[in-house]
Amino acid sequence: MLKQHKPPRIMFSAGEASGEQHAAAMYLELKKHRPELQALGMGGAAMRAAGINVRYDSSAIGVIGVFEVLKHYPQIHGALKMMQRLVADERPDLLVCVDYKEFNFKLASFAKQCGIKVLFYVSPQVWAWRPGRVKKYGRVIDTMAVIFPFETDYYEAENIPVRYVGHPSVDKVRPRYGKVEALRHFQLDGQKPVIGLLPGSRGHEVERLLPVMLAAARKIKEKLPAAQFILPQAQSISESLLSRYLDTTDITIRIIKNQPYEAIECCDAVMTKSGTATLEIALLQVPMVIVYKLAEPTYWLGRWLVKTPFIGLPNIIAGKSIVKELIQHDASALKIAEEIITILTDPDYQNRMQSALAEVKERLGTGEGSKNMAKLALEML
């Protein structure tokens, strides 16, 4: 009697909205090559839609900052214990840890003890702080997949297997239509400025940033009465949370669902939180101002630990300041409004920023991050 082989199984661990989208895209690529492949793990709606058996919904634990993590520690600790049990019980052929660094480091360490191969996707930012983490991660993973070309040097210097796979956003940020058609699609007036508000994909980010963005919108409207405002709603953000703030303003804000890149394509300028969103806006070459606020203790701890002069990915990749960063106490409605108004009323300033963003796009290459990740995973399997 012939022995039946079980189909290979991959476990994904993604704790944030961007990470689970990367996992979903990677799994869809994997299925093209190995249709019988099965997947399970921790994530959210995008992973479910891709066909991954999500055993733990990570939407409640996608927080950043030391003190924010401490506040949600019981849920995060519970999720880690649950995922460790899943690793031990299910014994997948490969564990793919996507971003969510500290959590996934602990999960990867446990998996290695169980004799399970670990592929880590999205390196911790060792170029910004704590470069010693390279060795630490090297002990608990089989391969590190990095999304910026300069990151390979840090791992190669320590003889840790590393592969540059490209940034997944390069593939994702492909609007279905150009600006003129996008404006028509959303019934926006192409003769009037369109300003985007991107307060984030986590609840606590929206709570901190949306009020100041709305206050900035009011100041912009005073100077530029024709201005139109749109807000691409992240899948992880509920309508009730947005309504809590939008219902208190007299400024009309158009909510756009499930079409983030088409929405950004419409914009003449964007006020955005720091993170992956800044890179996606850069890929569309839309001028922006980066706005970010953290809990006060987290902010001061970050200032002490982080060694890079910038927090915005476009600036980090460019190696210079090309987009204004308004962080913590500088993130006032007045300063945000002033920067957006400058972008909209100074053509030279706007053109210089767009040219610099075009250079950032060129540095990120042609993409195919999800395909490269799928190829790497198949090699490891």
Q: 293 pLDDT band (50/70/90 cuts)?
A: confident
221 vs 172 pLDDT, higher one: 221
Does 209 share its domain with 85? no
Q: Is the pTM of this model over 0.85?
A: no
pLDDT surpassing 80 at residue 130: no
207: in domain: yes
Cross-strand bridge partners of residue 95: 11, 118
Does 283 share its domain with 156? no
172: in domain: no
Does 311 share its domain with 189? yes
pLDDT value, residue 230 = 98
Q: φ, ψ for residue 121 (rounded to 5)?
A: -110, 120
pLDDT surpassing 70 at residue 133: yes
Average pLDDT over the chain, rounded to an integer: 90
Does 137 share its domain with 214? no
Dihedral in degrees, nearest 10, Cα atoms 69, 70, 75, 76: 50
371: in domain: yes
171: in domain: no
Give the pLDDT mean for 176-181.
93
307: in domain: yes
Specify the CATH number for the domain of residue 52: 3.40.50.2000
Q: 148 pLDDT band (50/70/90 cuts)?
A: confident
Does 156 share its domain with 204? no
Does 146 share its domain with 210? no
Domain count, the chain: 2
Give the pLDDT mean for 202-211.
91
pLDDT, tens only, 209-249: 999 999 999 999 999 999 999 999 988 889 999 999 999 99
Residue % of the chain over a pLDDT of 90: 70
1: in domain: no
Instruction: Please report which residue ranges of the chain form alpha helices under DSSP H.
Output: 17-33, 45-50, 66-71, 73-90, 101-113, 133-138, 152-156, 168-172, 179-185, 203-223, 239-246, 260-266, 276-283, 296-305, 313-318, 333-345, 347-363, 369-380
Does 191 share its domain with 333? yes
Does 185 share its domain with 330? yes
Beta strand pairing status for 117-121 and 94-98? parallel
Q: 68 pLDDT band (50/70/90 cuts)?
A: low
Does 156 share its domain with 198? no
Yes or no: say if 166 and 204 are a contact pair by the CB < 8 Å rule.
Answer: no
Does 203 share its domain with 221? yes
Q: 306 pLDDT band (50/70/90 cuts)?
A: low
Residue % of the chain over a pLDDT of 70: 91
pLDDT surpassing 80 at residue 174: yes
Does 118 share its domain with 216? no
| Range picked from 52-66, 107-121, 235-249, 353-367 for highest mean pLDDT | 107-121
Distance from C-alpha of 76 to C-alpha of 42, rounded to nearest angstrom: 12
pLDDT surpassing 80 at residue 72: no
Does 38 share its domain with 184? no
119 vs 202 pLDDT, higher one: 119
242: in domain: yes
List of residues 6+ apart from 114 with CB closer than 8 A: 87, 88, 91
pLDDT surpassing 70 at residue 1: no
173: in domain: no
Question: How far from each other are the two terminal CA atoms of the chain, in whole angstroms?
Answer: 26
Domain of residue 297 covers 179-363
Distance from C-alpha of 379 to C-alpha of 52, rounded to nearest angstrom: 20
